[in-house]
Amino acid sequence: METAECLNHMAPYLFAQIDKKRDALIAQGADVISLGIGDPDMPTPEHIVEEMARAIRRPANHRYPDYNGSPAYRRACASYMKTRFGVELNPETEVLALIGSKEGIAHLHTAFVNPGDYVLAPSIGYPVYSGGATLQSAHTYFMPMKEEQGFLADFSNIPDDVLKRAKIMFIGYPNNPTGACATEEYFDRAIEFCLEHDILLAHDNAYCDICFDGYRAPSILERPRAFECCIEFFSLSKSYNMTGWRIAFACGNPKAIEALGTVKNNLDSGQFTAIQEAAIAALTGPQDCVREMCEIYQRRRDLVVNTLRSIGVSCTAPQATIYVWARVPEGETSESFATKLLEKTHVIVTPGNGYGPDGEGYIRISLTIDDNRLTEALERLKTLIPS
């Protein structure tokens, strides 16, 4: 049996690979601590679970959902965007329900990219940006992303032949995995660039609610002319501890929303309406749960950053996200250090090179574990750092 040619170029999904190693160690009886995938340890807030319990009992919800998301869910997404960012959206044409933002990001390629085209992805980024291109038999051009430039993906030197065939540019701030945040000026330059080169600008805003030290993460749709070329992805996964529920939305340019909707209508039948109803409770209900979560993550961030710095490991304290991005010790690569940590101390971190070429020399630590286990993991990590 011959599989599609594009699969020959497709790497196994980063976290699926890490899970395999974890499961093998656990099977041997190891006490593994995972600071790998960003999968919140705290439960979904009670009022959302309660709404789900009610919604699942409504027989009307047991039928096929609306393809683009229920009108009520799309209105709730628009209302969240208005309250949170002051962005006005038409829920009928500018909002689309997703079965998790990963799904929407992957399918965006099907809507816009032909074989041989280019996707512009940050050289440190969510693996799905380039993975989606590979599945379309398209190429990825990695935009340099350097610490000296605040991890802002640099689109100033893209060769002309790449630009001519570039269809989508992906960026995401607050950034996974570096935790970097973008300035308004950076967003404006990205919009201007994409308008000039007729490229769809896809902004991944999955971490916008997890902010620290009074920082407020913006939506790119707040910026002038954004609706002419931008689609933005929001996820309820991290904001409301709903990774397992698979619920998100895309919004922005109506043509991009329609195109993504056409791909999805032909591939899936929408998200379970009961989940959409629970998501409405999340987006429009009390937001203290989000604030409380941010306080917990901020405390964990400080614990990790202070400990790493105290043993000479260089890292920046992120103003947002659930990750700390740290340099590996001298003489190590991302892979060698992550492997050593796993094999010698049974602590999982994500090797930076798994996010693209400029991720080499870094590891990502997730803050999605309680303080005691986090402290224990850091103690184990310390044993690998030469004093």
Which residues here bind ligand MLT, judged by CB under 6 A? 15, 37-38, 102, 176
Task: Tokens for 332, please give them.
Answer: 């190590």
Helix, coil or strand: residue 363: strand
Report which of 246, 271, 294 is spatially closest to residue 102, judged by C-alpha positions.
246
- Contact between residue 171 and residue 203 where contact means Cβ atoms under 8 Å apart: yes
Q: What is the smallest separation between the CB atom of 89 and ligand MLT, expressed in angstroms?
A: 24
CA-based angle 203:233:254, to the nearest 5? Answer: 90
Residue at shortest CB range from ligand MLT? 38
Nearer to ligand MLT among residue 55 and residue 342 (C-beta):
342
Q: What is the smallest separation between the CB atom of 57 and ligand MLT, expressed in angstroms?
A: 30
Report which of 370, 210, 215 is spatially closest to residue 291, judged by C-alpha positions.
210
- Contact between residue 108 and residue 132 where contact means Cβ atoms under 8 Å apart: yes
Nearer to ligand MLT among residue 127 and residue 150 (C-beta):
127
Nearer to ligand MLT among residue 91 and residue 104 (C-beta):
104
Q: What is the smallest separation between the CB atom of 29 and ligand MLT, expressed in angstroms?
A: 26
Q: What is the smallest separation between the CB atom of 255 and ligand MLT, expressed in angstroms?
A: 26
Nearer to ligand MLT among residue 194 and residue 250 (C-beta):
250
Q: What is the smallest separation between the CB atom of 33 and ligand MLT, expressed in angstroms?
A: 15
Q: What is the smallest separation between the CB atom of 325 and ligand MLT, expressed in angstroms?
A: 12
Q: Omega of the bond prior to 177 within 30 degrees of 0, cis?
A: yes
In degrees and rounded to multiples of 5, residue 177 shows phi and psi of -105, -5
Q: What is the smallest separation between the CB atom of 38 and ligand MLT, expressed in angstroms?
A: 3
Nearer to ligand MLT among residue 87 and residue 248 (C-beta):
248
> 350-376 burial by CB neighbour count: b if 16+ within 10 A, else e?
bbbbbbbebbbebbbbbbbbeeeebeb
Nearer to ligand MLT among residue 66 and residue 268 (C-beta):
268
Nearer to ligand MLT among residue 105 and residue 168 (C-beta):
105
d(CA 335, CA 333): 5
Burial class (CB in 10 A: 0-12, 13-18, 19+), 137: middle
